[in-house]
Chains A and B, each alone.
Chain A
Amino acid sequence: MRFPAHTGTQGLTFLLPALVLFAIFVLYPAFYIFYAGLFEWDGINQGVFVGLGNFHQIFTDDGPFWIAMRNALYWAPLTIVIQMVLGFLIAFLLEIRTRMVPVFRALFYLPAIVSPVVIGIVWQRIYNPFGGLLSDIGIATGLRFLTFSFLANTQTAIFAVIVVNIWQWMGFSMLMYIAGMKGISREVLEAARLDGITTRQTAVHVVWPMLRHVHLTLVLLGVIGTLQTFPLIYIMTKGGPNHATEMLPNYIFQQGFILQNMGYASALSVVLLVLSLGLSVFQVKVLGARFSFGGPA
């Protein structure tokens, strides 16, 4: 389409409201943390310039930070892989069915739309060793290990929270696979059937490889999701016991808003920002991941 000369300014006018908000509330804050991270600052009084001191402390002398890193390494692969496998399986089985598909789809997706605050409190009750669901099941069935206090133990707490996260977000993976499978042509599946391969082989050797773009999107979103994790941790454990369930967002919140170390929290934010942008750009540029939703991108 050809444009008259004035459309350059007209385009800018259309863009302006979005750009102004974006610049004030996203761009400026993103640069702000790089500056504030250079100060020892309580957020109220004048800060003291410490150069890279905060970063030095983070990398050399900050136990909870490294626990948060380790937890992210547990969290990302466990949630992403299990959600993908279960989500794919359910999406594929829904392709086999004819009736009740919307009901199943809605039930599995339901947890993803519920506030993580609500979910955290409900699951705290499930894990409660005194009258919680798991412990009551343990007593009734004789599986005594279920009466264990999963959230209060430093070895198990992070995995207990990971289970909740998988439960909440699996339906999202399912939905993405359902949308992806709609993009697979009927002829391909029909040809597979006529070639006489089994349903399981169809799933594993035909459908799964054709959904590469969905896998990549889910890994990308899963890594970003891992680095965003806050409410579940804050509600269920506050990062405890003894930092065992620490994740970077909760640690930033604790440092900045509970301990009033706004400078240190900014430095931690820089680390989180660099980490998530680095990992995302790597996936997009090297692996070819896309923020794609639905059909083949």
Chain B
Amino acid sequence: MIRVPAITRRLATAFLTALAAVWMVPVAMMLAVALTPPEKRVSGFGGLLVDDVSLRNFGIVFADAPILHHLFNSLVITLTSVVLVVLFGAMAAYAFARMRIPGKNLWFFLLITTLMLPVPTLIVPLFQINKSLGLLDTYLGLILPYTALGLPFAIIILRGFFEALPLELEEAARLDGVSQPRIFWFIALPLSWPALTVVVIFQFMTSFNEFVLALVTMDSDALKPLSLVPLVYSGQFFTQPGAMFAILTLITVPVVVVYFAMQKFMISGLTTGAVKG
């Protein structure tokens, strides 16, 4: 905290409050339009001002669109890739931090390079690979690329954390005859939860919101994750902005819930998991 005169603090508060209010206008508008009763014309200011609130748009959405089914698709794809990224990422990161690997520096260089790679450069080949492997229009067609693309960030964050763990701890276990894999599973991995939290949040957010790969991979509506849902129903709800914005609200709820449930770990995790690139 920086100590300042009381007047400065009050000015700071006023400025932050005003800016935050402006910043939240689009979010407020989304909720306002979603809560406007469907039979009413959306009111003034883009629908920001509501005089009458109803949840009926959400009823319409749940009745006419299998939104929970799309949520299920998103959760299957996202959670599976989170588990795989944590598992494979932690194993690889531990190997980088503590084990001897042939070609270690080359592999690590390639991983770092991937962080600089825009995903859209890979959509043509990933589409073709998924086609040859028979993964188009399947959950795995998204789970595997999401995992592969999430691994570099996970490995770099976790490697930094494993390297910072005191060697004495593992040395002591080794002298007691504990094998390296067991040291990883029962000592290093449990200790690394702050870094794992960062990886989980990051992987969850990116996979849940991912758009371009989902767009080219998923053809049947029944398999589409939530991020594609606005496109699926934009025609059906073209004349019902309330229902459309109810869908947008429903898509947003899961990420917001997950983020706020875990955000207190985020800053501490980011600080402790400082990476050396």
Contact = CB atoms under 8 A, between A and B. Distances in A.
Interface of A: 1, 3, 7-8, 10-12, 14-15, 17-19, 21-22, 24-30, 32-33, 36, 43, 90, 92-98, 100, 102, 104, 106-111, 113-119, 121-123, 125-126, 128, 131-134, 136-137, 140, 167, 175, 178-179, 182-183, 189, 193, 199, 202, 224, 227-228, 230-231, 234-235, 248-249, 252-253, 256-257, 262, 265-266, 269-270, 272-273, 276-277, 280-281, 284, 290-297
Interface in B240-277: 241, 244-245, 248, 251-252, 255-256, 259-260, 263-264, 266-267, 270-277
Given A110-B256, A118-B248, A230-B120, A12 B101 contact: yes
Interface in B15-42: 15-16, 19-20, 23-27, 29-30, 33, 42
B23 A111 contact: yes
B16 A94 contact: yes
A230 B116 contact: no
B233 to A, nearest CB: 11
B121 A33 contact: yes
Given A118-B230, A125-B46, A167-B23, 19 more contacts: A8-B99, A22-B152, A98-B1, A108-B20, A118-B251, A132-B46, A133-B45, A175-B267, A179-B270, A224-B115, A234-B215, A253-B212, A253-B216, A269-B121, A292-B274, A292-B275, A293-B271, A293-B273, A296-B274
The 3 closest A-B pairs by CB, nearest first: A133-B46, A11-B99, A249-B120
16 contacts: A1-B170, A7-B99, A7-B100, A22-B110, A29-B126, A32-B129, A36-B124, A90-B19, A96-B12, A109-B263, A115-B209, A125-B33, A182-B267, A272-B121, A293-B270, A296-B274
B123 interface: yes
Given A93-B16, A178-B267, A26 B2 contact: no
Contacts of A178: 267
B120 A252 contact: yes
Given A10-B181, A25-B149, A266 B211 contact: no
B9 A137 contact: no
Contact of A167 (B15, B26, B96): B26
B271 to A, nearest CB: 4
Contacts, number: 321
B212 A231 contact: yes
Nearest to A176: B270
B100 A11 contact: yes
B272 A294 contact: yes
Nearest to B125: A29
B119 to A, nearest CB: 6
